[in-house]
Structure 1
């Protein structure tokens, strides 16, 4: 490869010299043509390498490597095998599906006879495929036919944008997939037992990172039943052991399987920079939590809801507005803001701009030297802290100031992502049944009412609690105090029991 690159450079230099001196000949034109042919050959080899890398990663169970060969959303058509029409699906969900299906299956895929057409940064490939599958006690199943792939060059690398299987034939156990699914379901159900009688620590992938969560089970949990499930998300910067875990545990006692997890960059989950509050990532994590719950044999995949508290409500609403697999939503003390609202909390227009500028500088520093600038998450004496004030929930070790949470690390780069976020337009896109629980003493009550008014369905309800506390101090009672928690749980239980 390197000698070819050197030769191409030499040819290019020679042609430029000829053009400048007026000495272009038939021979130089021939050289230019051979250079183009060499470039096309290299491009074709790179395209073929992407497809082979993807196939080999599946056979060796390197799922993250397999996922990295695709764009974020890929068109997949296996209709010649399954009878289901092709559709665009997240690459992460596609690979997670393969992982779930093929976990106990040995596979060997052979691609050959590549027919590659290049068109600038696009490529189209037809190839022959022979796929062998084996599993204990099930036998073997071979399938063969043709693959039709489309690829696009992204940041210098070829990525798969479309894949279609054209089945020609199969042999062996023709019920192989159905029997593997049944085997996997039996094995998974047996493994999905609470660690301590009521919960189990679990992991699931989100965009190549490992997310750690706690799964909570109903008191009558049986591996032979399917249950509705609820994803619970807490306030910004928080971890699963805080308000998310409290609500998840209480909702599980009402008959739901519930999941509270650490978002990427926080707690036990992977991701970096650490303590970076990244709304886009958090919304995607909620979507990937849906994928995970749908893979569990004791979860009814058509009965998955989501509950969010404070900023977790904002992220939950944004995820549900874009993901119809979330069938119902409940928000508790929702934090919802826009460009005007953030000025009220962060020093007016000048304070907001200063924080955004600091975030951009912090991002450049991280990109250049890999160092992260931090400020405190909470303080009553340092005005630069992310939360400056006597907010007892985050200061009291008996409430939210727990060892798993960081009171002194908030990534400065978070400010730009946080302060420029505007979830309000997503209300019109939200079409699933939605209950919003709030009060005049919670944060920005008129923004919750405004979002509620614009929700794109009539199947919605606003539940308002009475309080004498001024805004925003009643907000924190919803995190862990009575009667706010019990009343919110009671309303959420009724809503999800009816709407899921």
Structure 2
């Protein structure tokens, strides 16, 4: 990546530090003014995976300043206990990322955009609903974590899941060990042996469990007892009234169990944006859009002119 510069930075969040990578374009001039993008990683992921090394680097090559950060309680960011996946805090992370960009003299404060992948795509949507410093946004194979945890992640029995989480949280409050769950099998082979057939689970495992996408901080883990916070959350709440910024939805046409296909069409329909676009990468799946050159190139071919138009 000799054509761009990556700075490893930290900035203050609520009561801890956020770790992030700042991608700067080739020929970067600190005296200039640049449009900037916040890039939010998927659930269980980290800034060194698709949000940073693929889309962050790609947008920096197109002249944008890009901030790819680790979620609170995850990756190299601070926060205890570890592996909390709380949608409200994840959305707050995006606001703190924008705060940081607003302190940089070379970032044009009127030209802030946001992108997110998988769960990060829906978190980005929710952030834009109430933070109109975001002037344009892109959801890449975005998944509404609230909907997913009420459905597939709880085996379509959310009340039983909530009861189990409540019991576990009480046990932990009384000194018991934290229960950290892994969202994925240890390998594709183990998943198939266990009867897994869903394309999203198998392709996620192939991405996160092999050298293709594996990173030390891409833990694909969640603190079971704290997952209850997501059950009452909807990434798209009030989008019909408050999501007015230009919106681009990118997804593949191979639907899987995580539901990006249905969620993509839902937010496209619900958003109040007068400029909203849908791009469906034909023949490609959710995890193809993480890093495979052809579908990523298709996504970038839509994103770059869209972001340039609205962040200039």
Aligned-partner Cα distance in 1 for 2:300–2:27 = 19
Q: Deviations over 1:244-265 (max 9, x none)?
A: 1121011100000001010110
Residue 364 of structure 1 deviates from its aligned partner by: 2.2
Select the residue among 207, 212, 221 that pairs with 1:399: 212
Aligned-partner Cα distance in 1 for 2:159–2:19 = 35
Aligned-partner Cα distance in 2 for 1:331–1:293 = 20
In the alignment, is the contact (CA less than 8 A) between 2:200 and 2:287 conserved in 1?
A: no
Q: What's the secondary structure of 2:163's corresponding residue?
A: helix
The residue aligned with 1:418 is 230
Residue 373 of structure 1 deviates from its aligned partner by: 1.2
Aligned-partner Cα distance in 1 for 2:183–2:116 = 20
Q: Does 1:492 align with 2:297?
A: no
In the alignment, is the contact (CA less than 8 A) between 2:9 and 2:22 conserved in 1?
A: yes
Deviates more, 1:483-492 or 1:304-313: 483-492
Q: Does 1:274 align with 2:68?
A: no
- Alignment CA distance shift 1:388-1:378 (3 Å): farther
In the alignment, is the contact (CA less than 8 A) between 1:310 and 1:332 conserved in 2?
A: yes
- Alignment CA distance shift 1:389-1:290 (3 Å): closer
The residue aligned with 1:427 is 239
Aligned-partner Cα distance in 1 for 2:275–2:123 = 20
- Alignment CA distance shift 1:204-1:337 (3 Å): closer
Aligned-partner Cα distance in 2 for 1:209–1:418 = 22
The residue aligned with 1:335 is 143
The residue aligned with 2:67 is 259
With a CA cutoff of 8 Å and minimum separation of 6, indicate the structure with the bigger relative contact order. 2
- Alignment CA distance shift 1:389-1:461 (3 Å): closer
TM-score, with length taken from structure 2: 0.87
Select the residue among 349, 355, 364 that pairs with 2:161: 355
Aligned-partner Cα distance in 1 for 2:215–2:194 = 20
In the alignment, is the contact (CA less than 8 A) between 1:309 and 1:331 conserved in 2?
A: yes
- Alignment CA distance shift 1:289-1:250 (3 Å): same
The residue aligned with 1:316 is 124
Q: Does 1:232 align with 2:21?
A: no
Q: Does 1:215 align with 2:22?
A: yes
Deviates more, 1:422-431 or 1:235-244: 422-431
Q: Does 1:458 align with 2:264?
A: no
Aligned-partner Cα distance in 2 for 1:231–1:388 = 25
Q: Deviations over 1:381-422 (max 9, x none)?
A: 679xxx994234444422222222225x42112431233321
The residue aligned with 2:184 is 378
- Alignment CA distance shift 1:382-1:214 (3 Å): farther
Gaps of 5+ in 1: 1-193
Deviates more, 1:279-288 or 1:481-490: 481-490
In the alignment, is the contact (CA less than 8 A) between 1:438 and 1:465 conserved in 2?
A: yes
Larger strand fraction of residues? 1
Select the residue among 265, 270, 283 that pairs with 1:449: 265
In the alignment, is the contact (CA less than 8 A) between 2:254 and 2:286 conserved in 1?
A: yes
Q: Does 1:483 align with 2:300?
A: no
Q: Deviations over 1:35-81 (max 9, x none)?
A: xxxxxxxxxxxxxxxxxxxxxxxxxxxxxxxxxxxxxxxxxxxxxxx
Larger Cα Rg: Structure 1 or Structure 2? 1
Residue 324 of structure 1 deviates from its aligned partner by: 0.9
The residue aligned with 1:33 is none
